[in-house]
Amino acid sequence: MVGDLPRRLVAEAIGTMLLVIFGAGSVVAALLMGDGELTYAGLGFISLSFAVVVAIVIYAFGTTSGAHINPAVTIALAAGRRFPWSEVLPYIVAQLVGAFAGGLLIVGGFGRRAADLGTGLTALGEGVSYGQGILLEVMGTFLLMLTIMAMAVDRRAPTGWAGWMIGIAVAGEIFVIGPMTGGAVNPARTFGPYLTTSVFGGDTPWAQFGVYIIGPVVGAVLAVLVYDLVARPAREVPEEAEQGTAGEIAGARESRGETAEEAAAGEVPAARRPHHDELRERLGHGVRRWRPGHGR
């Protein structure tokens, strides 16, 4: 990540706002087109909208703030020692503010009828208990966080695919648990529409909000623990390296046995010159790979 904390918080707020506008907003659009009814085909288009906006936000703000746009992701990365606990609360506040702003903009665009339709809020389906809702949200968030670990956090991941694969993971979990819980897997995604609907006098199931806090946080933390134990990723960035993209470059140099001083002075031993030339070629093409968190 790059930039000071205020700039990163702005990026998180904007990213979460976009997630709500084009994610939860697609629920409002589907309900309007379906005369208040939501079919499974409509859920498919909602899933696609979430996938697209998640991917775009990651590619736009991933190198700035990590593009967590999800309190559960922020907490899980901190639990996995990849993000400082001191910044967890500011990140979550920024995400919640952005989510509420997104909800307000949905009402601004669609009118008061958006609030009457719930502003795209998530709620337990008919016959789904509180415990089942938590379990389903755990499973959905586990899939999301596992994808983040594999495609964005692990240095072994292929370059450039993180955004789309994480977006597809969001779509996949909505396909399965969407009819049961709405497939939030994100406390901020639920909070924004809930608060907006309440402000405009709509019916908001605040009693269910715990499902969308407990489930995502437990699922995300569990995914980090499982990935670390089973996949055993290499340390993302050496402790002495810089954070963000600069840290990745330094980490690549050290993994090849090349120091920053050697690269800067051009004093690379002959045995290591092929690796040095490869690194220079990569840097010349501006290859960068996003990673959420500080990559510790």
Mean pLDDT of all residues in 61-83: 97
Q: Given this model, what pLDDT does residue 294 score?
A: 44
Please state, for a pLDDT cut of 70, what percent of the chain lies above it. 78
User: CB of 181 within 8 A of CB of 190?
Assistant: no
pLDDT over 70 (residue 248): no
Beta carbons within 8 Å of 239's beta carbon, 6+ residues apart:
296
CA distances, 295 to each of 25, 158, 242, 286 (Å): 32, 16, 10, 20
Cα separation, 96 vs 72, in Å, equals 12
Report the pLDDT value the prediction gives residue 277, as an integer from 0 to 100.
52
Which two structure tokens, joined as six digits, stand for 168?
Answer: 């597809």
* pLDDT the model gives residue 239: 44
Neighbours of 259 (CB within 10 A): 13
Q: Which of 15-29, 41-55, 191-205, 247-261 has the lowest mean pLDDT?
A: 247-261
Q: Is the pLDDT of residue 244 over 80?
A: no
Check residue 174 and give its pLDDT. 98
What's the angle, vertex CA 250, arms to CA 290 and CA 151, rounded to 5? 25
- pLDDT in the model for residue 233: 84
pLDDT of residue 264: 45
Whether 254 shows a pLDDT value over 90: the answer reads: no
**Mean pLDDT score of the chain:** 85
Position 23 scores a pLDDT of: 98
Which of 169-183, 221-235, 256-270 has the least mean pLDDT?
Answer: 256-270
Q: Quickly tell me which residue has 């999301």 as its tokens.
A: 144
Reference 227, options 126, 124, 150; nearest CA is 150
* CA dist., res. 50 & res. 169, Å (int): 10
Please report the sign of the dihedral spanned by the C-alpha atoms of residue 89, residue 91, residue 95, residue 101: positive
Among the residue ranges 60-74, 171-185, 265-279, the one predicted with the least confidence is: 265-279
Question: Percentage of residues in the chain with pLDDT exceeding 90?
Answer: 76
Q: Which residues contact 154 (CB under 8 A, 6 or more apart)?
A: 227, 231, 233, 234, 236
Any idea which of 38-42, 89-93, 173-177, 266-270 has the lowest mean pLDDT?
Answer: 266-270
Measure the CA–CA gap between 132 and 135, rounded to whole angstroms.
5
Structure confidence at residue 240 as a pLDDT band (50, 70, 90): very low
| 237: confidence class by pLDDT, cuts 50, 70, 90 | very low
Per-residue pLDDT band at 243 (split at 50, 70, 90): very low
CA dist 99 and 186 (Å) reads 11
User: Is 287 a residue whose pLDDT tops 80?
Assistant: no
Asked if 63 and 245 touch (Cβ cutoff 8 Å), the reply is: yes
Q: Tell which wins on pLDDT, 174 or 272.
A: 174
Residue 119 has pLDDT above 50, yes or no: yes
Amino acid identity of 240? E
Tokens of 146: 């596992």
Residue-by-residue DSSP string for 119-187: TT---PPTT--HHHHHHHHHHHHHHHHHHHIIIIISTTSPTT-HHHHHHHHHHHHHHHHHHHH-----H
Is residue 220's pLDDT more than 50? yes
Number of H helices, E strands in the chain: 13, 0
Q: The tokens of 94 are what?
A: 């920024």
Judge residue 228's burial from the number of C-beta atoms within 10 Å of its C-beta, 0-12 exposed, 13-18 middle, 19 or more buried: middle
What is the CB neighbour count within 10 angstroms for residue 44? 15
